[in-house]
Amino acid sequence: MNGKKSRFAALALAMLAAVWMGEGAGAQQPGPAKKPNILVIFGDDIGTTNVSAYSDGLMGYDTPNIDRIAEEGLRFLHYYAEQSCTAGRAAFLTGQHGIRTGLTKVGFPGAPMGMSQLDPSIGGLLKNLGYATGQFGKNHVGDRNETLPTVNGFDEFFGNLYHLNAEEEPELPDYPKDPQYRAKFGPRGVLKCKATDVDDATEDPRFGRIGRQTIEDTGPLNRKRMETIDDETSAAAIDFMRRQQRAGKPFFCWFNSTRMHLRTHVREAHRGRYTHGDSEYIDGMIEHDAHVGSLLEALDDMGIADDTIVIYTTDNGPHMNTWPDGAMTPFRSEKNTNWEGAFRVPCLVRWPGHIKPGTVTNQLMSHNDWVPTLCAIAGEADIIGKLKRGYKANGIDYKVHLDGFDQSKFLTSVEGSAARNNGAASARNKFFYTDDDGLLVAMRWGDYKFVFSEQRAPGTMQVWAEPFTTLRLQKMFNLFQDPFERADITSNTYWDWNLDHVHFMYGVMNEVFAFVATFDEFPPRSTPPSFNPANLMEEKLREIKVRHWAEQQFPMLSPTSRPRD
């Protein structure tokens, strides 16, 4: 009996070992991990105080759907966008610093600057990793055909190309009545585009070659359509996600709301829901939260919420100078400055089973980080290194320098409150601030911010009109002790404190030198446009002087001295 038991035990152990080692006839090796769906929701000029997950209803209304992402996921307190619309969207789209892409400022309608096909987009990189990619809503990184999403990595696009006040310019009473003026300088309509394998050589005289895409202009985004455009684009985003879910394909869906950029136009049925005075802006913010709710509800209805990463953020800080049609933030100043109010924005991330619900963090993250982070989650762990060395995606060879960091390990390990957490550290401990002219104006290094050039206008459109003042001595702020950057205004002992911390500036200069050195191999793709003809004239004269100097030094290079055929 004991012998039989021993033989039975030995046989059982052998069978277990065979299964464990994968030697049994029915044993299977585990397959690759399932790729999560990705839904990214961008607001427009959303202020930190406007989201009740950050302000606890301080402004007299709630954003329950946006707050749901925070409750079920991670809330950042030190998250960095950029100083204005194009810069923020391009930072997320490319993973590159705005100085490197030149996309720190938008051009006029029809201007030649915009997204370059030499730079891989987050959509294209994820498409190369097996994702269906769709972009819906505001784009704002160029309006020429070669800059559109569907020739830059996205399968589908439906949305507008500009900020709202540019879209409604043709309705202003003093807008030129000559239709030729609008044809030459006016905005394009809301476009519906699809990527194709067919290369369309048709050349639009204003917007360029169509290329491998189809383009349908669905009509202008006028004031009336602004009331409901987010209904159209969010419905298109939901339809895109449903089609991919039915096809069994992972998707990357980037929804860009037009809320809450100026000027706000809310349909009559949604007016008056705010109870602390009349505010069409707040009515619009409540509507924006409802659109977020419809996207989350769609994930629930499809049964894929647990398999989908959801990110909520915005492009830049609030445009406060248009108040009451403007957002709010506790941070200093506003959009288009060097101060935290321009760059610090809400960011909420939900990934069930991977990110612990209710987590809050003081660690740093920025828009640039999402390209390497989402690529790592999708299966490409070394996209930063591979792109530096040369990387082929969707049949295109790229060689670029990503300025983002892979935060996938941090996102899936951090838990706890901002002040009491498990010690998980972000891959990022620095951030370079630039203005919309491409000037490096500040740097954050750990807890400290160092200001090299400052916008001294206290508010109004002066923050767009007035130049930045370059400082001879950097200003310094401890963003934990002085999160709102007020010490240089209110403290009697600020400059004594600054002098006692000069030693930090040595390390900062070293970091700046290292950042600048990366441009030797990876120079700027383009330079931001100027809206001032004086600057254009100065640049042209400088170009002429350089050419004349070269012709004097090297006369054989002069066109007039070259022999003719």
Give the single-character DSSP code of 211.
E
In a structure prediction context, what are the per-residue pLDDT tens digits for the chain, which is 565 residues long?
444 444 444 444 443 343 333 444 444 445 567 999 999 999 999 999 999 999 999 999 999 999 999 999 999 999 999 999 999 999 999 999 999 999 999 778 888 889 999 999 999 999 999 999 999 999 999 999 999 999 999 999 999 999 999 999 999 999 999 999 999 999 999 999 999 999 999 999 999 999 999 999 999 999 999 999 999 999 999 999 999 999 999 999 999 999 999 999 999 999 999 999 999 999 999 999 999 999 999 999 999 999 999 999 999 999 999 999 999 999 999 999 999 999 999 999 999 999 999 999 999 999 999 999 999 999 999 999 999 999 999 999 999 999 999 999 999 999 999 999 999 999 999 999 999 999 999 999 999 999 999 999 999 999 999 999 999 999 999 999 999 999 999 999 999 999 999 999 999 999 999 999 999 999 999 989 887 888 777 777 877 887 887 778 777 655 555 554 4
What's the gap between Cα 51 and its chain centre? 18
Give the single-character DSSP code of 560.
G
Contacts 24+ apart (CB under 8 A), 23-32: 32/379
End-to-end CA, the chain: 107
- Domains detected in the chain: 37-428 (3.40.720.10), 434-521 (3.30.1120), 534-565 (no CATH)
Closest C-alpha to 155, from 137, 136, 178, 175 = 136
Q: Tell me, what's the pLDDT at 553?
A: 75
Closest C-alpha to 81, from 69, 92, 95, 94 = 92
> CA 170 → CA 30, 83, 207, 222, distances in Å?
59, 27, 19, 8
**Tell me, what amino acid is at 506?**
Y
Q: Tell me, what's the pLDDT at 23?
A: 40
Please state, in angstroms and rounded to a whole number, the distance separating the CA atoms of residues 391 and 393: 7
Rounded to the nearest 5°, which phi and psi values hold at 334? -155, -170
**Exposed e or buried b for every residue in 332-345, given b needs 16+ CB within 10 A?**
bbbbbbbbbbbbbb
What 3-state DSSP class applies to 260? coil
Q: Tell me, what's the pLDDT at 132?
A: 99
Indicate the burial class of 231 (C-beta count within 10 angstroms; 0-12, 13-18, 19 or more): middle
Give the single-character DSSP code of 461.
T
Q: Which tokens in the block code for residue 448?
A: 């400290």
Residue in the block written with tokens 């009109």: 465
> CA 276 → CA 59, 78, 270, 321, distances in Å?
9, 30, 15, 20
> CA 359 → CA 122, 175, 191, 208, 462, distances in Å?
26, 50, 39, 47, 39
Kindly report the length of the chain. Answer: 565
CB 430 within 8 A of CB 438: no
Residues 6+ apart with CB under 8 A from 150: 156, 157, 193, 194, 195, 213, 214
CB 327 within 8 A of CB 373: no
CB 362 within 8 A of CB 419: yes
Q: Tell me, what's the pLDDT at 8?
A: 41
pTM equals 0.91
Rounded to the nearest 5°, which phi and psi values hold at 158? -145, 115
Please state, in angstroms and rounded to a whole number, the distance separating the CA atoms of residues 49 and 57: 9
Rounded to the nearest 5°, which phi and psi values hold at 292? -60, -40
Q: Tell me, what's the pLDDT at 22?
A: 42
